[in-house]
Amino acid sequence: MTIRRVTLPPRGEYRFELENEEKLSIRLVPSTGDAEIFGSSLISSTSSDRWYNFGEEAKAAICSWSGCELELAGSASVEYLADSLSPTFGAYTNLHLYLEQERLKARNELRSASRETLEDIKDRALRAANPTVPLEVDSKDDTGVAELLTGGEKSGQAIYENIGQGPRVLVVGPESAGKTSLANLLANYALKSPAVCEIPHMKAQEDNENKRDGEAESALTGWWPVIANLDPSAGAPTLPCTFSLLPLSPSPSVSLTTASPAYPFGLTLPTTGLFTTTSLNPVSSIPAQTLWLGKEDVRTNEVHSKRVVDWLGAALERRLARDYRARCSGVIVDSMGVNSKDARKGYSFLKHVVRTLYIDTIIVLGHEKLHIELTRLFASATPGGEASAASSASSSTHKPIQVIKLPKSGGVVELDETYKARLRSLQIRNYFYGGSVDKKSTSAKTGADHVASSLAPAVVDDRMQEATNNEGGPTDGTPLGGLPPLNPLTTSIPFDLLEIYRVGQESMAPTSALPIGMGRTVTETQLLKLDIVNSLADQNSILHNVLALVEPPHGGGGPGQPDSQTVPPPEDDAIIGANVLGFLHVVGIDTQRKKLNILSPNPTKRLPSKTALLGTLDWQDA
């Protein structure tokens, strides 16, 4: 394998697109300048051992502010130097500087508030945000937890408080506009900021909580933002068909990896399938908060999608109420692609997201019409909409929602459905089997030797140096993203061990199509329990499907008892809003022995829950 060298001019950008089976390794030549990939700085080394490996059809761009030289090993079907200035050096950086100012304002506001005020906000938020409290759901009125967030009549308490709130950014645009890439860039710039978001009079308490969470005690420079993924087709940071919150922490080696499109927001635990592994270096020591949506399009049963957003919003407020560094660092929301269906519905789902998550800045990428319509829609709105008036009188005055149009990068790649299907299959496979290793590698490691930082470059040790020099520098034995291979097993469980639910019916006619005077027997947010013991149709519906194991409300039913055997029994709404603990794949059904054959990433451990949710995430292990 030969090594070639590419020279990036100041404010230049090198772009590449990999096809299947292609791999590319990149090294920043020392003392030649700086380089970054979606805001994550490349580190140079004089020992010629720092290579950044890319594969699995990755598509990315490397920018340089001052110019640099890169060494490349491997092949790429498409690679070129951009002939126009990247938005990274203009519009995107200006947006980061604006968000930086807002974070500093929020931090200073927290520093000037009394400890008693902050403790009061935290206590009231945690009480009001208790997800075990049954909430009413009205499919005609998308409120529910939204009322709880703003201190409506049902809650009696206000979760959201404007004191010390950092910027909350929603990135929107059409499909293949670069939304996830921009979210990565903003997060990486926030992580490597020189600011310190420590709140002195809350430091002692935060240190104690961080010890319980496993975070470092020492103060670090950089912000602690939260990424919210509302694109269920992205599969980040867990699997497709989910919504998630990912709290980030600015450890020295942390940045969002882009080595493989299977990990667009980096490697996270425990949702990689490694329930107990602690030797990895994930993007955050705090597990992602993941909720099961069960579909890859929010427009399918939009009432249910809004309800899951409600629960995600409650989880976000609960998180920000106890973590003041994350509170002033803000939230970056990645969303699904907007299309003409959303316009015909008046952008109903987007409006719900903006209101529920208290978005104060909307970034529209590369779509002038969408920018005009959203500007008109939120012309006089404030974060949280009209309900923001319900916030505490001690809160600061809300600013109007900012709608900002930014250009999309010229390097954005249009992704077809075939590519998306391959990516979805790869994400599921990596969850159960771990990271992939080049089949040609003769030096692949196993077990703990495979564990490498998902965020740092692949480092070639002394044993591999000779082979590395012969092959052009990079090692073939390091799994992309640093995720080690797993050894899952297919095991059998009784039919009646799991309680499996589906949200609503598989297909529902619109309300307008029902006979006059007739109502639905099953609502959009009602859970239907599958009878896999007696129903052949229910057995077929779970075959080759991925099941989400969710945290059982009220702690579950105990050993030998179904999770529904609690007093009081769990409400459908509480199960919908329950956090995902892991995933199983139903590979076969043994009707004679009445057992399910399941694939588990960690078969030696007891299942974390006996409550499972079924969606449309099917997969066959080829």
- The annotated binding site for ATP is made up of 13, 59, 176-181
CA distance 156 to 160: 13
DSSP 480: G
Closest C-alpha to 53, from 483, 466, 479 = 479
Q: Is 506 helix (H, G, I), strand (E, B) or coil?
A: coil
DSSP codes, 193-241: -S-B---GGGHHHHHHHHHHHT--SS--SB---EEEEE-TTT--SS-SS
Q: 459's torsion region: left (phi>0), alpha (psi -120 to 50) or beta?
A: beta
Task: For residues 526 and 603, give the distance between their C-alpha atoms in angstroms, rounded to a whole number.
Answer: 31
> Which candidate, 419, 440, 468, 442, places its Cα nearest to that of 25?
468
Which positions ≥6 away from 461 have C-beta within 8 Å? none
Q: What is the DSSP letter of 286?
A: S
How far is CA 390 from each of CA 68, 125, 157, 168, 226, rounded to the nearest angstrom? Answer: 53, 14, 10, 19, 25
In this structure, the chain runs to a length of 622
List of residues 6+ apart from 261 with CB closer than 8 A: 56, 57, 58, 59, 423, 426
8 Å CB contact between 53 and 23:
yes
Strand arrangement of the beta sheet that strand 36-37 belongs to: 40-41, 36-37, 59-64, 12-17, 78-81
Three state DSSP letters for 25-86: EEEECCCCCCCEECCEECCCCCCCCEEEEECCCCEEEEEECCCEEEEEEECCCEEEECCCCC
Please give the annotated binding residues, written as ranges: 13, 59, 176-181
SS3 320: helix
d(CA 494, CA 485): 28
With vertex at residue 19, the alpha carbon angle to CA 16 and CA 21, rounded to the nearest 5 degrees, is 120
Q: Are 555 and 518 in contact (CB under 8 A)?
A: no
Is 170 in contact with 354 (CB distance < 8 Å)? yes
Determine the Cα–Cα distance for residues 105 and 77; give it in Å rounded to an integer: 46
Radius of gyration from C-alpha coordinates of the chain? 24
Q: What contacts 517, CB < 8 A, 6 or more positions away?
A: none
Rounded Cα–Cα distance for residues 526 and 304 (Å) = 9
